[in-house]
């Protein structure tokens, strides 16, 4: 073998690996998290899990990626340990599809135009050319993703074809025959297969190299078997590494993958070698071709799944015994590091975390109102604890999204990341203003301050309006509803009017000596914090309007200009109607307010004294 052949083969392997990686990333982008969502939702039955694991792995051409997804889902508490067993077994079946595609080069076309096109030497360049045109010269995120997939697949075939050509000179090399004679030793062969697969971190890559080498005629069935069984074990390394530092259930998931592959490989190793020793299989010393390797790879994984599927519960009990602890333990948040490998999935999980922040902020807002009605030290402590959780979530999300933004994102995903960063900041600020309201309640309690019945009624109306706008902002963001988001801004403008009106009234009460400066300070502080909560709710709704509104909508074209014009008296029938309804419900109600017969505890003492 010439030195140039060695260089050519190294370049071919590099092209093959790069093509596979490029194709996989393109498939992950175009899935937009849908493949992951299917895995997450449709695994209530182990047989469904096997089918889904096989399907998704066949699509993304990587059993390791599917298994790492499972580790991430279990670590995040999205899936139970038992749900992953079928997926992992199916992933081993799905990974055989690549070998079946690559074996096409061994099929003679015999002048058939269809079979000629399917030859890697023809199909590879065609796919690469079409892919690079879509990827580089045609605008549009989805087209670029399709181009990336086709380009990756083309490079995969080109690399495979080049590898096959580069090893053709090895046919008569005696050392190659000696090498494969050595790895015919079952334990050594499995060790070599496992080590090389672990090094490449891809069983598909190792299988591709083995397929290329099979064209030399130096590999016998007896030499190929332990190598294929060994690569089945080596591919588990990726999931084992990804489980480092994860929850106990995530570690158990990686161990299920390891034990499933180890037990299956050892069983078939013993069965095949024992069978050969007894029956002396005539094919054992025959050379293998691409089709034989691809078919054995498929049959082995199908048989392995059929053999071990009935023992899946025992497999789960084994890993739970090896990694003891609470079976339902969830140690990490939904922001699992493994999701960063699939940006679309990471964005969806980040959206869920931002919604979680908003939900916690709203729950704390309710607590702050309870504190104003009836102050309780335990409620105040709980409010502070939840605020600490919101702050930690904000910090973790911020770091997570910054890391995500450094990935190769399309324009849509990049906009979503920016939106998430802005929204989490708004929910965090809402949490801060809610704490301020709680601290006002604490100061009112400690200083023995009492508001007049009129001031209490005004605050109650203002708090009801802010409670509604917070619920609307959270709902529109959770559901990404443009229709719901458009209802937020009219109410926010009414709340601004209420703030100005109530501030003016209270200043008049101060001038008339109807309340003290200390009371007035707390009243105005509450107004400021309530109005600022509404401001941030408005921001959240505007992000949804800008990102989700249809093309040509003035809200999407220039959100700030659109709302500035509305605030300056611009015409929008829907906005004007909603503004009038909210104004009648809240602002006009301030004019006719009288202390109700039944009032919450916040008002009872003052009414009783009156």
pLDDT of res. 373: 85
- Check the CA dihedral 478-479-480-482 and report its sign: negative
pLDDT over threshold 90, residue 82: no
Is residue 31 predicted with pLDDT exceeding 70? no
Residues 254/75, Cβ–Cβ less than 8 Å = no
Q: What is the mean pLDDT of residues 468-483?
A: 92
In this prediction, residue 603 carries a pLDDT of 36
- What are the backbone dihedrals phi and psi of residue 220, each rounded to the nearest 5 degrees, phi first? -95, 165
Q: What is the mean pLDDT of residues 155-163?
A: 84
- Tokens at 470, concatenated: 């917070």
Strands (E) across 97-247 are located at none
Please tell me the least confidently modeled range out of 223-232, 367-376, 402-411, 528-537.
Answer: 402-411
pLDDT bin (cut points 50, 70, 90) of residue 466 is very high
**Quick one: pLDDT band at residue 605, thresholds 50, 70, 90?**
very low
Say if residues 201 and 59 touch (Cβ distance below 8 Å). no
The CATH number given to 334-448 is 1.20.58.220
Q: What is the pLDDT of residues 206-256, one digit of tens each?
A: 888 888 888 888 889 999 999 999 999 998 887 888 777 666 777 888 899
| Range 400-412 average pLDDT | 86
**Residue 43: which pLDDT band, with cuts at 50, 70 and 90?**
low
CA distances from 173 to 1, 8, 170, 179, 218 (A): 8, 18, 5, 10, 9
Write the pLDDT tens digit of every residue in 535-564: 999 999 998 888 765 545 555 455 555 555
Chain mean pLDDT for the chain: 81
Nearest to 302 by CA among 491, 92, 105: 92
Read off the pLDDT band of 598 (50, 70, 90).
Answer: very low
DSSP string, 419-435: HHHHHHHHHHHHHHHHH
Task: Look up the pTM and report it.
Answer: 0.57
Whether pLDDT at 276 is above 50: yes
Average pLDDT over residues 574-589: 87
Name, of 17-26, 326-335, 405-414, the range with top average pLDDT: 405-414
- What's the rounded Cα separation, in Å, for the pair 163 and 12? 5
Q: Which of 20-34, 89-103, 376-390 has the lowest mean pLDDT?
A: 20-34
Lowest mean pLDDT, pick from 113-117, 145-149, 596-600: 596-600
Span 515-523, average pLDDT = 82
Residue 494 in contact with residue 587, Cβ under 8 Å?
Answer: yes
pLDDT for position 438: 92
Judge contact between 18 and 158, C-beta under 8 A: no
Contacts of 573 (CB under 8 A, 6+ apart): none
**Higher pLDDT among residues 318 and 24, named by residue:** 318
Mean pLDDT of 150-155: 88
Quote the pLDDT of residue 325.
65
Predicted confidence (pLDDT) at residue 426 exceeds the cutoff of 80: yes
pLDDT of residue 601: 41
The ranges assigned to domains in the chain are 170-332, 334-448, 452-594
Tell me if domain 334-448 and domain 452-594 are identical in fold: yes
Check residues 63 and 110 and name the one with the higher pLDDT: 63
Highest averaged pLDDT of the listed ranges 112-126, 127-141, 437-451: 437-451
Cα-trace Rg, the chain = 33
**pLDDT tens, position by position, 307-360:** 999 999 999 999 989 988 654 443 334 567 777 877 888 888 889 889 989 999
Output 37 or 606, whichever has higher pLDDT: 37
334 phi and psi angles, rounded to 5 deg: -70, -10
Q: Is 220 helix (H, G, I), strand (E, B) or coil?
A: strand
Q: What is the CATH number of domain 452-594?
A: 1.20.58.220
Q: What is the DSSP letter of 585?
A: I
Residue 404 token pair: 């995500």
**Predicted local confidence at residue 272, as pLDDT:** 92
* Average pLDDT rounded to a whole number, residues 15-40: 70
Closest CA to 433 of 523, 360, 540, 361: 361
The predicted structure's pLDDT at residue 564: 55
Closest listed residue to residue 386, CA positions, set 365, 354, 364: 364
């Amino acid at each position: 073998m010439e030195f140039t052949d060695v260089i050519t083969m190294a370049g071919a392997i590099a092209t093959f690996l790069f093509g596979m990686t490029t194709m996989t990333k393109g498939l992950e982008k175009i899935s937009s998290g849908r493949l992951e969502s299917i895995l997450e939702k449709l695994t209530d039955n182990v047989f469904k899990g096997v089918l889904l694991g096989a399907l998704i792995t066949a699509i993304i051409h990587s059993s390791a990626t599917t298994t790492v997804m499972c580790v991430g889902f279990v670590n995040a508490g999205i899936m139970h340990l038992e749900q992953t067993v079928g997926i992992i077994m199916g992933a081993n079946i799905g990974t055989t599809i690549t070998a079946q595609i690559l074996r096409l080069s061994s099929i003679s076309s015999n002048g058939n135009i269809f079979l000629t096109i399917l030859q890697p030497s023809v199909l590879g360049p065609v796919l690469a050319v079409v892919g690079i045109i879509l990827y580089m010269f045609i605008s549009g995120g989805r087209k670029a993703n399709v181009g990336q997939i086709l380009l990756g697949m083309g490079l995969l075939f080109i690399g495979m074809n080049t590898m096959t050509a580069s090893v053709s000179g090895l046919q008569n090399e005696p050392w190659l025959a000696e090498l494969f004679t050595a790895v015919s030793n079952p334990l050594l062969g499995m060790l070599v297969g496992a080590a090389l697969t672990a090094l490449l971190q891809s069983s598909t890559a190792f299988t591709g190299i083995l397929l290329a080498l099979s064209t030399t005629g130096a590999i016998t069935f007896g030499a190929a078997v332990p190598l294929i069984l060994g690569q089945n074990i080596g591919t588990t390394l990726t999931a084992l590494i990804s489980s480092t530092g994860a929850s106990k259930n995530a570690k158990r998931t990686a161990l299920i993958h390891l034990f499933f592959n180890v037990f299956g490989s050892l069983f078939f190793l013993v069965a095949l070698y024992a069978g050969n020793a007894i029956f002396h299989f005539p094919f054992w010393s025959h050379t293998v071709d691409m089709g034989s390797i691809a078919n054995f790879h498929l049959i082995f994984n199908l048989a392995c799944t059929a053999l071990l599927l009935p023992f899946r519960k025992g497999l789960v009990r084994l890993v739970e015994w090896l990694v003891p602890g609470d079976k339902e333990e969830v140690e990490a948040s939904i922001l699992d590091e493994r999701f960063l490998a699939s940006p679309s999935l990471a964005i969806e999980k980040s959206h869920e975390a931002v919604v979680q922040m908003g939900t916690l902020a709203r729950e704390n807002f309710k607590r702050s109102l309870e504190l104003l009605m009836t102050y309780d030290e335990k409620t105040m402590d709980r409010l502070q604890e939840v605020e600490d959780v919101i702050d930690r979530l904000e910090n973790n999300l911020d770091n997570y999204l910054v890391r995500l933004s450094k990935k190769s994102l399309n324009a849509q995903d990049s906009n979503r990341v920016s939106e998430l960063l802005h929204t989490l900041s708004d929910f965090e600020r809402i949490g801060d203003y809610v704490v301020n309201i709680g601290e006002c309640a604490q100061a009112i309690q400690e200083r023995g301050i009492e508001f007049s019945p009129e001031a209490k009624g005004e605050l109650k109306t203002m708090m009801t309006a802010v409670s509604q706008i917070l619920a609307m902002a959270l709902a529109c963001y959770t559901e990404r509803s443009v229709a719901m988001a458009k209802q937020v801004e009219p109410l926010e403008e009414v709340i601004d009017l209420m703030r100005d009106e109530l501030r003016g009234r209270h200043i008049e009460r101060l001038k008339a000596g109807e309340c003290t400066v200390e009371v007035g300070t707390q009243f105005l502080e509450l107004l400021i914090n309530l109005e600022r909560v509404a401001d941030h709710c408005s921001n959240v709704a505007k992000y949804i309007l800008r990102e989700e509104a249809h093309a040509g909508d003035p809200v999407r074209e220039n959100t700030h200009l659109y709302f500035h014009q509305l605030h300056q008296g611009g015409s929008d029938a829907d906005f004007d109607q909603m503004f009038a309804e909210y104004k009648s419900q809240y602002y006009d109600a301030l004019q006719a307010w009288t202390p109700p017969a039944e009032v919450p505890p916040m008002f009872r003492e003052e009414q009783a004294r009156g």
